Amino acid sequence: MGARRSLRKSLLISLAATLLLLGGCTKDKALALKAAAETFRDRSVSAIDNYQNLMVTGALGEAQPEAQQFQEVLAQLRAKGAQGRLTSADALAALGSIDARERQLDFVRGKLSELRTAYVAFAASLARLPEGSFLAGDAVACAAGLGVRLTRRMMDFAQASQDKPVRYQQRLSRAVGDLNRAIAAKNESDIQRAVGELIETRKAERSDNAAATAMFVGAIDAGMRTVTLAQSYGQLSVEDLLSGLNQILEIRTATLGMDSSKAMERLATFRTKLEQDPALKPILAIPLNEPIPACKGQ
């Protein structure tokens, strides 16, 4: 009797261990996929935030130091005031440049907020995966469908940033204005300073555009790998998923500092891979705000 009880006990322990092990595996897999999705979200949102700053800096320049703002407003209002009584409209025109950059940044941020939210929603759709659910498999399939399209949007951004790099227009014109005044005044040190600023402007433009493209490519890389993990989630082992996650986490090191031609080579490879995948190609045509047919009602 004692031996039978002992056998039964050891069988139960073994079954529980197996179940725990299986449960643990599923949870580890879910955690790995969740972490991959969150990394994709973070890379994408950072790349978008960085690019919106770059675009606004290109069109409106860097934020001016307060002393410089004050001098500019002072000179303009003094000149206008010398012509007659100042009006509120004069003051508003003079003050406009103080927060122009912030206003335009808010505008661009607003325009891109829906897209940013889509990346957050993508990661959120997998947030409860490790808790386990009968619908987990569906959630992963649906997330893969959204992930493909979000990756594709990063490709659009990367392509646009490469096709039409942002130019530091305001900064360049300011330096040209300084140079013209220095030449007219025959002030050699100011001439040299202004030419130095022109060269710095061009260098900053190139490096900031290259960094923006590299950030997009890093996000695309994370997106492609996350989608691949989600697509084969059922068949992958915990080790496969952890290795996939590890690759995603190593992307940052690989993409930062990457030169533009290398970044574009990677972009072309990713684009071909995405657009030639028979399972993914039809999904690309579905708008971001619509679920893929299999996920309607999710």
Partner 1 sequence: MPPPKARRSDTDKALIEAAEAALDLLYDQYFASTALDQLLLKPQIEQAAHGVLKARLLLLAPGTIAVAADLKEANRIKDAIGQAATAQDTVIAAARLITLLARFA
* Shortest reach from residue 163's CB to partner 1, in Å: 6
Residue (130 or 218) nearer to partner 1, CB: 218
Residue (160 or 195) nearer to partner 1, CB: 160
Helices (H), 232-259: 238-255
Q: Say if CB 211 and CB 263 are below 8 A apart.
A: no
The verdict on 196 binding partner 1 (CB under 8 A) reads no
The verdict on 285 binding partner 1 (CB under 8 A) reads yes
The tokens for 246 are: 């590890």
Tell me the window of 33-41, 116-124, 220-228, 279-287 that interacts with partner 1 (CB under 8 A): 279-287
Count of residues near partner 1 by CB under 8 A: 48
Residue (25 or 108) nearer to partner 1, CB: 108
The verdict on 94 binding partner 1 (CB under 8 A) reads yes
The tokens for 53 are: 């700053």
Q: Say if CB 225 and CB 248 are below 8 A apart.
A: yes
Which residue, 246, 291, 62, 278, is CA-closest to 166? 62
Binding mask 102-141 for partner 1 (x = CB under 8 A): -xx--xx--xx-----------------------------
Residue (31 or 59) nearer to partner 1, CB: 59
The tokens for 77 are: 């209002």
Compute the C-alpha angle 24/26/31, nearest 5°: 90
The verdict on 172 binding partner 1 (CB under 8 A) reads yes
Q: How many CB atoms lie within 10 A of CB 92?
A: 9
Residue 35 CA, distance from chain mean position: 16
Binding mask 46-85 for partner 1 (x = CB under 8 A): ---------xx--xx-----------x--xxxxxx--x--
102: left (phi over 0), alpha (psi -120 to 50) or beta: alpha
Among all chains, which residue has been given the structure tokens 């697509």?
231
Which residue, 219, 203, 232, 28, is CA-closest to 129? 28
The verdict on 292 binding partner 1 (CB under 8 A) reads no
The verdict on 180 binding partner 1 (CB under 8 A) reads yes
The verdict on 9 binding partner 1 (CB under 8 A) reads no
The tokens for 142 are: 């649906």
| Residue ranges in contact with partner 1 by CB under 8 A | 55-56, 59-60, 72, 75-80, 83, 90, 93-94, 96-97, 100, 103-104, 107-108, 111-112, 152, 156-157, 159-160, 163-164, 166-167, 169-170, 172-174, 176-178, 180, 271, 275, 281-282, 284-285
